[in-house]
Amino acid sequence: MNKFSKNAIALAVAAAAVAPAFAAEDTAFWYEDGKRTLADQKKEFPNMRRAKNVIVFVGDGMGVSTVTAARILQAQLQGGDGERNELAFEKLPYLALSKTYSANQQTSDSAPTMTAIIAGVKTNDGVLGLGPEVPRRSTDATQLESFKIKSLVQLAEEAGRSTGVVSTARITHATPAATFAHSSERNWERDTQVPAGAPNKDIASQLIDNFGPGKIGNGIEVVLGGGRREFLPNTMNDPEDAGSTGRRADGRNLAAEFEAKFNGEFVYDRAGFDNFNVNSGKRLLGLFEQSHMEYEHDRPADTGGEPSISEMTEKAIQVLEQNQKGFVLVVESGRVDHAHHVGNAYRALTDAIAMSDAVKKAMEMTDPRDTLIVVTADHSHTFTIAGYPKRGNPILGKVVTPGNEAPNYALAADGNPYTTVSYANGLGYRENSPIEDAYGDGLGAQVGRVTDLRSIDTTNPNFHQEALVPLGSETHAGEDVAIYAGGPRAHLFRGTREQNYIFHVMKDALGL
In angstroms, rounded to a whole number, what is the distance separating the alpha carbons of residues 364 and 49? Answer: 20
The mean pLDDT of the chain is 93
pTM to 2 decimals? 0.94
| pLDDT in the model for residue 438 | 43
Q: φ, ψ for residue 158 (rounded to 5)?
A: -60, -30
Report, as residue numbers or ranges, the catalytic residues.
110
Asked if 167 contacts 175 with a C-beta cutoff of 8 angstroms, the reply is yes
pLDDT one-digit tens code per residue, 49-63: 999 999 999 999 999
In angstroms, rounded to a whole number, what is the distance separating the alpha carbons of residues 225 and 165? Answer: 8
Going by pLDDT thresholds of 50, 70 and 90, the confidence category of residue 466 is very high
pLDDT one-digit tens code per residue, 418-438: 999 999 999 888 776 656 544
| pLDDT in the model for residue 436 | 56
Going by pLDDT thresholds of 50, 70 and 90, the confidence category of residue 451 is confident
pLDDT one-digit tens code per residue, 114-152: 999 999 999 999 999 999 999 999 999 999 999 999 999
β-bridge pairing 467-470 and 421-426 = parallel
Q: CA angle, 98 as apex, 92 and 102 as ends, to 5°? A: 145
Q: Out of 281-290, 339-348, 434-443, which region has the weakest mean confidence (pLDDT)? A: 434-443
Mean pLDDT computed over 228-246: 97
pLDDT one-digit tens code per residue, 292-315: 999 999 999 998 899 999 999 999
| pLDDT in the model for residue 347 | 97
* Nearest alpha-carbon partner for 107 in 503, 492, 424, 468: 424
Name beta bridge partners: 53. Answer: 371
In angstroms, rounded to a whole number, what is the distance separating the alpha carbons of residues 246 and 226? Answer: 13
Q: Which residues of 74-109 are buried (b: 16+ CB within 10 A; e: fewer)?
A: bbbeeeeebbebebbbeebbbebbbbbbbbbeebbb
In the chain, where are the structural domains located? 3-15+24-42, 57-190+200-366+475-510
Q: Which residue has the higher pLDDT, 330 or 12?
A: 330
Going by pLDDT thresholds of 50, 70 and 90, the confidence category of residue 496 is very high
| pLDDT in the model for residue 6 | 43
* Nearest alpha-carbon partner for 118 in 140, 90, 151: 151
pLDDT one-digit tens code per residue, 162-192: 999 999 999 999 999 999 999 999 999 999 9
Q: φ, ψ for residue 191 (rounded to 5)?
A: -60, -35
Q: Answer whether residue 205 shows pLDDT above 80.
A: yes
Q: CA angle, 319 as apex, 507 and 181 as ends, to 5°? A: 50
Superfamily name and number for 57-190+200-366+475-510 = Alkaline Phosphatase, subunit A (3.40.720.10)
Helix, strand and coil content of the chain, in percent to the nearest 5, comes to: 30, 20, 50
| pLDDT in the model for residue 430 | 77
Name beta bridge partners: 222. Answer: 164, 284
Q: What percent of the chain stands above pLDDT 70?
A: 92
CA Rg value for the chain: 24
Q: Answer whether residue 212 shows pLDDT above 70.
A: yes
Helix 27-42 to helix 3-15 angle (10° resolution) is 140
pLDDT one-digit tens code per residue, 240-287: 999 999 999 999 999 999 999 999 999 999 999 999 999 999 999 999
Mean pLDDT computed over 220-225: 98
Number of Cβ within a 10 Å radius of residue 3: 7
Q: Which residue has the higher pLDDT, 15 or 85?
A: 85
In SS3 terms, 14-65 reads as HHHHHCCCCCCCCHHHHHHHHHHHHHHHHCCCCCCCCCCEEEEEEECCCCHH
